[in-house]
A and B are shown apart, each in its own frame.
Chain A
Amino acid sequence: MNESGRRPAALSAVDLHKQVRVGFRGRKLEILRGVDMSVDRGEVYGLLGPNGAGKTTTIKVVLGLMRPSSGSVSTGDLGRERIGYLPENPYFYDYLSGREFLHLAGRLFGLGRGQRRERVERLLVDVGLSDAADRHLRKYSKGMLQRIGIAQALINEPELVLLDEPMTGLDPVGRVEVKRIIDGLREQGTTVVLNTHILADVGELCSRIGIMCRGRLRWQGTVAEAAGASPGGLEGFFMEVVGREE
């Protein structure tokens, strides 16, 4: 805990800007317009916002997949070897089986054979894919791809996990399983950043949320604060914040 009673930040962004050039003439498009956010260690943080708000871009900048135009982002002493990431609408290698794919993820993190084997088998059970482990990924349903994607994000036992729309394409059973995994991560003290559209999941899983709109973080606080700030609860508050900007 720090002086303000909060745990130290696992992720922080200060005045983060990102401009990209689009079209034939290279028109400038500002995707991030000064994002300030802070995610405490060990919390499950929900990053909310309408489509095009800049949530995915923020995550990409955190991971180094994109470079910020200005501003800074920090994950403290956590390098990429301590971070797990599930991309939005993940597409993985068709020709690999689920088991081979997790072994590949483990190899990329430099895990030894024994450690890799133990984690792969455990994660296959955790995400409910043991029976489909030797099936090629091209034969996986969208929900199964999402679950194998979550498994690869956890192969390195990360301290910070970034999940971009993890519930997309999941059936109710799959969603329950993913929620159970996220709960398990919270119990282990892992920091989770959940980028999602589904407000009900946020209410259940997250301790704090940030609402993004048009490249800025418009609001940041606890779920209870957000739910209590509007007669419409969390959903009503979200609409108010987003509506203000629109």
Chain B
Amino acid sequence: MKSSFAIALNTFKETIRDRVLSVIVVFALAMIVASLWLATISLEQQARMMKDFGLTAVTLFGLVVAVFAAGNLVRKELEKRTVFFIFSKPVGPAQFIVGKFFGLALTVFLVVLGMGVFLFVVTWLVAGDAAGSVLLATLLIYFQVVVVMAVTVFFSTFASAILSSVLGVCVFIAGQLSHNVLSLTRLGEGEVLKALSWVVFIAIPNLAAVDAKPSVVGEGSIAWGQTALWLGYLIAYMIVALLAASWVFRRKEF
């Protein structure tokens, strides 16, 4: 536990001091500010437009930070050979993976939350609409991003940093569409297709199920009971991804 904490703290310092992160955050904030201009196009729905555009920016930039940092997280330690330093100490593979993950998760949390709060303040000041739901949606965006991050960490234990990041982005996209897979069960009558659809549905994290953006921009409301269940599923998904990453790492030699 102490080792995981030490590694998490170190990873947090590593990622928060990375200049690339600052550049991405500045871009994200600029995108949110740009939503002000976009919102002027439709004066009647200014707040709605700002939230819609802003939350999309929070999702995209949060995803970019999480996926590209996660792809490098373990790879960099292997390539720079800092794993020698780590594993010559009483540190196990699981403690290492968990520490790396939570360190980055904290950085991503600050980045996503920072963007969310900025969006909240901008919406409030410009459109006079102080919607707490923006912050709630930001929190759920963080959940989506962090699940993808866990899967990317798993990929990075055996694939290159770039490939892991690309696969992470693919998982995110698939996660937005995974509910469509179930539609296949209605199209086909075969039991095999039905079973296969369910397997794919379970294997791909259903990220759209915890997406609060439609309700924030006024396209329906959040079904809290269902969202809580899906959050439970995503947490389990994260744990499985990290366990798998630890298992792969345990078999490695340095």
Chain A interface residues (CB < 8 Å from chain B) = 60, 63-67, 79-81, 83, 85, 87, 90-93, 95-96, 100, 104-105, 107-110, 152
Contact = CB atoms under 8 A, between A and B. Distances in A.
Contact of A100 (B13, B82, B85): B13
B90 A95 contact: no
The secondary structure that dominates the B interface is helix
A66 B254 contact: yes
Nearest to B91: A108
Q: Contact residue range for chain B?
A: 20 to 34
Contacts, number: 67
B12 to A, nearest CB: 11
Contact of A110 (B81, B86, B90): B90
Interface of B: 2-3, 5-7, 9-10, 13-14, 17-18, 80-91, 253-254
A65 B96 CA distance: 14
Contacts of A64: 87
A91 B84 CA distance: 9
Contacts of B90: 79-81, 108-110
Contact of A65 (B9, B10, B84): B84
A93 B6 CA distance: 14
B6 A104 contact: yes
B143 to A, nearest CB: 28
A92 B82 contact: yes
> When A and B form their complex, which 4 residue pairs have the shortest distance between CB atoms, in order from nearest?
A107-B6, A85-B88, A108-B89, A87-B84
Contact of B88 (A67, A80, A91): A80
B13 A91 contact: no
Contacts of B80: 91
B82 A95 contact: no
A88 to B, nearest CB: 9
A12 B34 CA distance: 67
Q: Which of B5, B14, B86, B89 has the most CB of A within 10 A?
A: B89
B215 to A, nearest CB: 40
A65 B14 contact: no
